Amino acid sequence: MEINTLPLAVGHMIGMGAIGSCLGIGIMASKYLEASARQPEMMEPLQSKVFLLVGVLDGAFIIATGIGLWFALANPFR
């Protein structure tokens, strides 16, 4: 009897990517709000950097999801 662990691996890949991305965005947003409350004049310069980093964090999750779905549908290890 062969146990197929690919669905478990794909679920972990997508789930851990989502958790990491959400935690990273949450921590970064809280630090941005904290910094802008302390120094309101820095809101504008920091806002563009925050949006850039949100895109990078979401991009990493989307890439992990794409690779996970590729493994689930194509299964290159068979």
* pLDDT tens across the length of the chain (78 residues): 456 888 888 889 889 989 999 999 999 999 999 999 999 999 999 999 999 999 998 998 899 889 888 888 886 666
Domains of the chain: 7-73 (1.20.20.10)
Residue type, 23: L
User: Which residue blocks in 1-78 are alpha helix, DSSP H?
Assistant: 6-38, 43-74
Task: Show Cβ contacts of residue 13 under 8 Å, excluding neighbours closer than 6 positions.
Answer: 64, 65, 67, 68, 71
Residues with a catalytic annotation lie at 58
